[in-house]
Structure 1
C-alpha cells in the first residue's frame, strides 16, 4: 500500500508539475489508473501461481520457456485490460472534457510503456516472494527432518542401552535363584521398579538431576544384591543441583561401566563417588571409582560411554561436554552440562 500511495503521489505531482493536467484532473487520473492497476496487479497472483504449480515437476529449461511464454501472454492481456478499463472509466468521468480526452489518447503509448515496467516489477516481486516462501518452507522441513532424525537416534541409543542392562540383571538374578533365592526375589522387585521408571521417563528429553540420581541409587541397590559390601556408593550433591535439568537416562552407563571395570575382576571393595557442583549456570558432575590396576581389563569401554558422547552431541551439539581420565587406580568421568532454556 505504501508503494501504491507513493506511485499515486508521484503520478499526480508529475502531471501537475509538467502542466499536463490541472491539479483536480491530475488527482482523478492518477487515482483511476493506479487503483485499477493495483487491483489487476493483485489478481496476477492467480495466473502466476497456476503457472508455477503446473511446472514443479518439469525440467529447468522447460520451466523457463513455459514461464516466459505464460508471463508474456499474461502481461499483454493484463496491460490491455488495464489500459482499456482505465481509459473507459476516465472517459465516463471526463466525457465533457475534450482537452482531457485528447491528453488521454496521446498518453496511451507512454502509459503502456510505464505499465509494462510496473507489471514486470510485479511479476519479479511475486517470484521473489514465492522464492522466499519456498526457502522458508524448505528450512522448516529441514528442521523438522533434523528433529525427527535426532529423536530416532535418541530412541536407537535408548533401545541399545536398556537391553544391555536388562540382560546383565537377568543373568545376575538367574545366578542368585539357586544360591540366594531371597536376594534374587529382592533384586527382581528392584529391577521392576527401575525398568518402570525407565519406560515412564524414556519419552522425555530432560529430567531434574534429582530424578536421575534417585534412579541411579535404585540401580546401585540392584547391583548391591549381587556384590554386597564390595560395592560402596557415595553422593555429594548440594540441594541447588537437584532441580537442574539433565538429559534423561544419561548416568546409567557410567555406573554400569564403573561396576564392570571395578568389580568384575577384583575382590577388593569399589567405591563410586558422585560429586556435583553448580558451574557457570550449569552443572559440573563427576563420577569417580577405584579399580584394581593389576586385574584383567574388560575389553573396551562398552556401548555405554559411546552412547553418552552421542547423546550429549545430539542434545547440545557439542563434543566437549564429557571428559574421561584414568590415574593409577582411579577412573573418572566428568560432565559439564549447560543450563537449558
Structure 2
C-alpha cells in the first residue's frame, strides 16, 4: 500500500510547505504572546515535528479498512468507519499530546515558567490538534477518492483503446480469416449444388458479420444476442463439418437478459473448432451451460478433443483477449478458469454482476 504523499512529489512538497508554514506561525504566535523566542522555537519544533510524523502514519490505519470494505459499503460499514475514524483520531491525539509534552518538558526541564505554560495549554492544544486531525482525515479521503477516480479513468481509457484496436482487427482477431474464406468457398460450391442452402448460408454469414461490426460504441450486450450470434457461427461451420460438429446449449432463461461484453465468448467456440475438428477426424461436441449462482452469471463452454494430436499454434488472441476484457470491464483477474481432463477441455467465465 503506497502512501500517496510519499509516492507523489507534488503532494509531498505541498505537505512539507504546509507544516513549515504551521511551524513558523506556531513559533511567532507563542513568542509574541507567551514565551521567549528560544522557548517558542523549541516548543513549535517538537509539537509540529511529532504531529508531522504521526500525520504520515495516520494514513495507513485509515486506508486499510477502506480497502477491505470498499466493495460492500452499507449502513453497518458506515458506522464501522465512523467508529474506527473517531477512535484512530483520539488515539493519535493522545499520542501526540503525551509524546510532545514529555519531550518538551524534558528538554526544558529547568524552565519552570515553560512547564507551567505547557500544562495549562494542554486543553487549547487538544482542541487545535483535534481540528488538525479532522482536516488530515478529510484530506486523506479526498486524496483516496481522487486516486480511485484516476484509476477508473485510466481503465476506461484502456477500454476505449482496446475497443478501437478491436475495430481495426475485428476480422483478424475476432473473425478468423480462414473461417471467412472457407465460408465463401462453401457458398460458392453450394450455388451449384444447392442454391437455396447457399442463400441461407450467405444470410447467416451476413448477419454474423453485421453483429460483429455494428454498434461499435456499445460495450455490453444481452447474453441472448451473444448466443444468437454464436449459433449463427456454428451453423455456418456445420455446413463444412456436417455431423462432425455437434452443439448443446443449456441456458437458464434468467441468464439470457444479463449483459456481457460483446464478442466475449466467440474465441471459445473458435478454439473448440480449431483444436477439436481441425486436428482430429472424430466428431466434436461443444457444450454450453449457463446458470446464475450467488449473484453471478457462470458460463461454461466445453468440448472434447484428441489429446494425442499436435496442437495448432495460434496468435494468442483467444483466451488472452477474454482475460483482458474481463480485467478491463470488472477489474478482476479471477473471473476465468480453465479445466482440462482426459479428452475434455472446459473454460468457465464468471460475470460478477447482472445489469
TM-score (norm 2): 0.55
Q: CA offsets per residue over residues 268-315 of structure 1, 9 Å max, x none?
A: 443211122333343332212122334331136933212333444555
**Aligned residue for 1:201?**
218
Tell which structure's C-alpha radius of gyration is larger. Answer: 1
**Aligned residue for 1:324?**
338
**Aligned residue for 1:303?**
317
Q: CA offsets per residue over residues 186-238 of structure 1, 9 Å max, x none?
A: 46513432223562532x3xx44323322322333454465555433221112
Equivalent residues of 1:286, 1:333 under 8 A apart: yes
Q: Distance in 2 between matches of 1:59 and 1:230?
A: 69
Give RMSD over aligned pairs: 4.1
**Aligned residue for 1:68?**
23
Equivalent residues of 1:194, 1:219 under 8 A apart: no
Q: Distance in 2 between matches of 1:61 and 1:323?
A: 48
Which of 180, 184, 187 is the matching residue for 1:173?
A: 180
**Aligned residue for 1:237?**
251
Equivalent residues of 2:183, 2:236 under 8 A apart: no
Which of 137, 140, 162 is the matching residue for 2:142?
A: 137
Equivalences for residues 32-181 of structure 1 within 5 A: 58=13, 63-73=18-28, 120-121=125-126, 123-155=128-160, 158=163, 166-167=171-172, 168-174=175-181, 177=184, 180-181=187-188
Tell me how many residue pairs correspond in the alignment. Answer: 252
**Aligned residue for 1:91?**
none
Structure 2 gap ranges (5+): 1-9, 35-116, 192-197
Structure 1 gap ranges (5+): 1-54, 80-111
**Aligned residue for 1:46?**
none
* Structure 1 pair 267–221 and aligned structure 2 pair: CA distance change class (3 A): same
Q: CA offsets per residue over residues 14-71 of structure 1, 9 Å max, x none?
A: xxxxxxxxxxxxxxxxxxxxxxxxxxxxxxxxxxxxxxxxx97858766544322234
Equivalent residues of 2:208, 2:229 under 8 A apart: no
Equivalent residues of 1:173, 1:187 under 8 A apart: no
**Aligned residue for 2:291?**
277
1:135 deviates by 0.7
**Aligned residue for 1:259?**
273
Q: Secondary structure at the match of 1:199?
A: coil
1:175 deviates by 5.2
